[in-house]
Amino acid sequence: MTQDYSHFPRHLVAADCIIFGFDGENLKILLVKRDFEPRMGEWSLMGGSIGSDENADEAAQRVLNNLTGLKNIYLEQLNFYTQIDREPTARIMSISYYALINVEKNIQINEKYSAKWFDLQDFPTLIFDHNEMVKDAVLRLRRRASTRPIGFELLPEKFTMKDLQSLYEAIFNEQYDKRNFISKINALDILVKTEEKDMTSSKKGSFLYRFDEAKYQKKLAEGFMFKI
């Protein structure tokens, strides 16, 4: 016997993306200006309805690609928002995702959306429950960054120790002792020190490092615990 669902209410489901970036000093969030009512002209997360021919992950990837032109972005499902009155025009539930983007990549932001990077410590009030989504995403990002090397998604392929420390300070909104931080990172043994230097910070320059994914995966299989 087949269940008849025709008498049940139908709801719309959207995928909303909290997009984080890092400019070398501050953690950033990419917002778009809403171009339709209600709340037209106000700042919003980038999102869109989930199509009948795609799952939620595919919808989120499509939303990100439409905005940034990028593929293979780090993306993680965050939460499901079902408050009855979260959107005034219809019963729309939202599956949220957070994404990590290296701002040095060739990002071609679609001008259609009037998108802008804002400092995570100073961005405008967002529509509906989007501020709650951002708050939840920051908490998740901090948990993940303390137990997984996802922070490297926000850095260029080669970076200095100062870049790495600045990133973690931005994520956790706190200051670290340079010597202790470097000691912790070196103890993880998942970076490769290159022969190249960044000469912009001083005459002597700073060595560039890169994250060794293969070494990390091997250590992980051996029971390694990443912890900052």
Domain positions in the chain: 12-147, 156-221
CA of 180: how far to CAs of 24, 165, 183, in Å? 20, 11, 5
The CATH number of the structural domain formed by 12-147 is 3.90.79.10
Q: List, for residues 39-94, the tens digit of each pLDDT value.
A: 999 999 999 999 999 999 999 999 999 999 999 899 999 999 999 999 999 999 99
Q: In one letter, which amino acid is 27?
A: L
Question: Where in 67-205 does DSSP place strands (E)?
Answer: 74-81, 92-102, 116-119, 191-198
Map residue 42 onto helix, strand or coil.
coil
The string of pLDDT tens digits covering residues 194-228 is 999 998 877 788 999 999 999 999 999 999 989 88
Task: Report the predicted TM-score, pTM, of the whole model to 2 decimal places.
Answer: 0.94
Report the 10 Å Cβ neighbour count for 57: 15
Amino acid occupying residue 154: L
Contact status, residue 159 vs residue 201, Cβ threshold 8 Å = no
CA atoms within 13 A of residue 205's CA, in its CB half-sphere: 10
The whole-number pLDDT of residue 8 equals: 87
Asked if CATH classification 1.10.10.10 holds for the domain at 156-221, the reply, yes or no, is: yes
Backbone angles phi, psi at 16, to 5 degrees: -115, 140
Is residue 27's pLDDT more than 90?
A: yes
Residue 126 confidence class, pLDDT cut points 50, 70, 90: very high
Maximum Cα interatomic distance, the chain, rounded to a whole number of Å: 78
